[in-house]
């Protein structure tokens, strides 16, 4: 095996991003302003959304979306336990409860049938939103989820669909549609995502009402933004606070990076798919592995290596540790929320047994390196390392 160490992820930057940042610095305006507005316009056009609002994280965007949809104390949301903690904790920050639906058996997506069971038992109409999470770039069954939201909405309680799109840019639906089907989409530009601003995110919607509310709430509940107040020669210093908002805006210096990264999004996607193809061709005939779920329009944010634990004599944790010992960067997507102390204490009845599919995915999944500028040599290093470790434990299992 090559001695090359393969990091789990490395951002794909060039002089273009550096020039964009320097240009922003030279302009004298660093916080949310003209560049951020330009970034929002470009992103909205890219995915076909009427409105796009840049925020400082996916978490911030999720809180804004939930608040704009009316989620508050006494309400509840439905999501999956197989997600990063912020998907659910955003609702808790607003005082809402969280109901968890298991994933599908053969994919990491939330199971619409389990969502419907929860909706059927919502006698008090507490549920205000469904939050499907698009894991690793694969899209959930959005048509069915949106149909459920419509079916169980009442005259006094509309159920919103807020898509956690942290992994799904630039995924496309079967008919090539790049946007979201729910009421709101919340994207992430964290350092390891398919495009990055270091920290940051974007909220998209086709609703003028939701867009206006989120725009106001992302900057202290002000009815005017700083760019207008400080740069217009006719601008008044006066403004109003119409709600107790948040500080969730994205500054121009990060938006400048985002514009450049957005221009490269399709190229990045093609590069990731090339690495995925190399992985798939190598792993498809390894008896101790199952290839990751795939579907048309997959963004391939992550490559989820799935171990067939009945074929090897070690656990996922041991396999992962041996990969790390060989210099291969790995991660786990995700530790289901019911494994964490807070969620155990808040919902004492939660246990792995309640979420058989999510638990099965968790116990056998490892995220291996996948990023646009990975070389073929790096991909081959990962493959040979996986094969060496896997065959060792496969042979030992057969022997015993």
Query: Going by DSSP bridges, is the β-strand pair 127-131/160-164 parallel, antiparallel, or unpaired?
Result: parallel
The yes-or-no answer on residue 126 being catalytic is no
Residue 232 phi, psi dihedral angles, 5° rounding: -80, 125
Q: Which helix (H) or strand (E) holds 160?
A: strand 160-164
3-state secondary structure of 349: coil
- CB atoms closer than 10 angstroms to residue 363: 14
CB burial of residue 162 (10 Å; 0-12, 13-18, 19+): buried
**Residue 158 backbone dihedrals phi, psi, to 5 degrees:** -80, 135
Which residue pairs, CB below 8 angstroms and at least 24 apart, start in 97-104?
Answer: 97/126, 98/347, 99/127, 100/337, 100/338, 100/347, 100/350, 100/354, 100/355, 102/354, 102/355, 102/356, 102/357, 102/358, 103/355, 103/357, 103/358, 103/361, 104/357
CA within 13 Å, CB half, 246:
22
Residue 265 C-alpha from the chain's centroid: 16
Rounded to the nearest 10°, the torsion over CA 266, 272, 275, 277 is -70
User: Between vectors from CA 189 to CA 336 and to CA 60, what angle results, nearest 5°?
Assistant: 70
Q: Which of 193, 388, 398, 399 is catalytic?
A: 193
- Give the integer Cα–Cα distance in Å for 362 and 306: 9
d(CA 126, CA 113): 19
Strands (E), 224-370: 289-290, 303-307, 365-368
26 sits in which H/E element: helix 15-27
d(Cα 66, Cα 91) in Å, to the nearest integer?
Answer: 7
Catalytic amino acids?
193
């Amino acid at each position: 095996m090559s001695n090359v160490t393969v990091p789990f992820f490395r951002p794909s930057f060039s002089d273009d991003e550096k020039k964009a940042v320097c240009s922003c610095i030279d302009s004298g305006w660093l916080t949310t302003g003209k560049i951020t507005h330009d970034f929002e316009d470009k992103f909205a056009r890219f995915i076909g959304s009427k409105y796009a609002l840049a925020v400082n994280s996916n978490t911030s965007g999720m809180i804004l979306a939930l608040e704009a949809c009316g989620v508050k104390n006494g309400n509840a949301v439905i999501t999956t336990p197989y997600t990063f903690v912020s998907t659910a904790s955003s609702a808790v920050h607003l005082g809402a409860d969280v109901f968890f639906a298991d994933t599908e058996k053969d994919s990491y997506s939330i199971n619409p049938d389990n969502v419907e069971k929860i909706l059927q038992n919502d006698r008090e109409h507490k549920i205000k939103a469904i939050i499907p999470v698009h894991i690793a770039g694969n899209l959930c069954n959005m048509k069915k989820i949106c149909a459920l939201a419509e079916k169980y909405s009442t005259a006094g309680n509309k159920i919103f669909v807020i898509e956690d799109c942290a992994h799904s840019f630039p995924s496309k639906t079967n008919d090539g549609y790049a946007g979201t089907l729910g009421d709101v989409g919340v994207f992430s530009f964290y350092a390891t995502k398919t495009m990055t601003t270091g920290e940051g995110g974007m909220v998209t919607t086709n609703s003028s009402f939701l867009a206006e509310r989120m725009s106001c709430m992302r900057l202290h509940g002000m009815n005017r933004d700083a760019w207008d107040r400080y740069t217009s020669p006719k601008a008044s210093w006066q403004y109003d606070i119409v709600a107790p908002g948040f500080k969730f805006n994205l500054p121009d210096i990060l938006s400048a990076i985002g514009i450049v990264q957005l221009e490269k999004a399709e190229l990045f996607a093609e590069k990731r798919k090339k690495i995925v193809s190399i992985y798939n061709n190598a792993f498809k005939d390894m008896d101790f592995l199952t290839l990751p779920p795939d579907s048309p329009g997959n963004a391939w944010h992550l490559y989820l290596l799935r171990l067939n634990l009945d074929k090897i004599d070690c656990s996922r944790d041991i396999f992962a540790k041996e990969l790390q010992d060989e210099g291969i960067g790995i991660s786990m997507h995700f530790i289901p929320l019911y494994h964490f102390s807070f969620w155990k204490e808040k919902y004492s009845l939660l246990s792995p047994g309640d979420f058989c599919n999510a638990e099965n995915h968790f116990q056998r999944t490892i995220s291996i390196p996948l990023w646009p500028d990975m070389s073929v040599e790096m991909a081959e290093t990962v493959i040979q390392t996986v094969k060496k470790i896997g065959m060792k434990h496969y042979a030992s299992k057969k022997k015993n």
